[in-house]
Amino acid sequence: SNWILQILGTIFVFLIGLGVVGNVLVLGNYMSLFRSTMKSIHLILIHLAFTNMITLLTRGMPRTVSSLGLRSLIDDIACKVVVYLSRVARGLSICTTSLLTVVQAITISPRASRWRRLQPRSAWHLLPLLLFFWFLNSVISMNLPFYIKHVRSMNTSEVTRSDNFCYFQSQNWPIRWIFIVLMVLRDAGFQSIMGWTSGYMVFLLHKHHQHVLHLQTSKLLHRTPPEVKAAKSVLLLMLCFLFFYWADCFMALYVTFSLEKHFLEGSALEFLDLGYAILSPLVLIHRDGHLAECRHMSVSMIFQ
């Protein structure tokens, strides 16, 4: 009924607004830190927050425009741009989160370790890698603009899947499978890297914990090094990403193969699409009390 649609639309817009505000805070905070400390981890978090904002604005636009009755303002070009940027941002999210776990694992590695040699000497050394992520995900999504149309420019028989006001036309199956395989390889590759580096970090954190217990000094026991706090925050972000990624995958499969299409299932899928972009800045703000205050950013930042 209409009142359910209005309630869900209100919740949806509220969550998008919450996510945008959270990411703006994270973006502004780490940009100010980046100018003074120039740490690699700051550049990655700036990029992650920027990617999250693209995700929220592009994925949230269809529902927002529909709920406000502004479909007439959207044309074919807007549809192509929104859906294309949404898909690129999805790929950038997994690439950036994976890079975050790798850099943090290198940071907490023992100084004598071979991994420590891979540590970027400057944050700017990561810039070519981030540009490569943009190129990779732009190429993997380059088929989308050819198959995205606005509902007014299509016949009903041409429509295969709806995204409120943008529709996917039937497309050449061999070409479609090529891009699906590329996406699967990208996701599997970066998630494997994420899993391996996260396991390595858990191993190092366990060793650190055993070492502290062995010292049996209450003062040291309650004083956690900044690198360890940062590693725990990155692991929490990684777990959030994996939860929303796989929950979204299973829900998408269920909705795709379900005989009956229900509005609530589609709404749940939309919320899962945006879950990581909304929650990740809140995780960073919660783990960092100074970030929440915004004006008192200083030495005790967890990623310093």
Domain boundaries, given as residue ranges, for the chain:
2-293
39/302 Cα distance (integer angstroms): 12
Q: What is the pTM of this model?
A: 0.84
DSSP class of 108: T
196/193 Cα distance (integer angstroms): 5
pLDDT at 290: 47
User: What's the chain's length in residues?
Assistant: 304
Lowest average pLDDT, out of 112-121, 165-174, 212-221, 231-240, goes to: 212-221
pLDDT at 215: 57
247/77 Cα distance (integer angstroms): 31
Q: Which CATH superfamily is domain 2-293 in?
A: Rhodopsin 7-helix transmembrane proteins (1.20.1070.10)
- The beta strands (E) that lie in the chain are given as 148-150, 159-163, 166-169
CB atoms within 10 A of CB 37: 15
96/50 Cα distance (integer angstroms): 11
pLDDT higher than threshold 90 for residue 213: no
pLDDT higher than threshold 70 for residue 72: no
Give the pLDDT mean for 15-28.
92
**pLDDT class of 134 with cuts at 50, 70, 90:** very high
Q: What are the tens digits of pLDDT across the range 31-41?
A: 887 777 778 88
Most confident among 34-43, 67-76, 108-117, 139-148 (mean pLDDT): 139-148
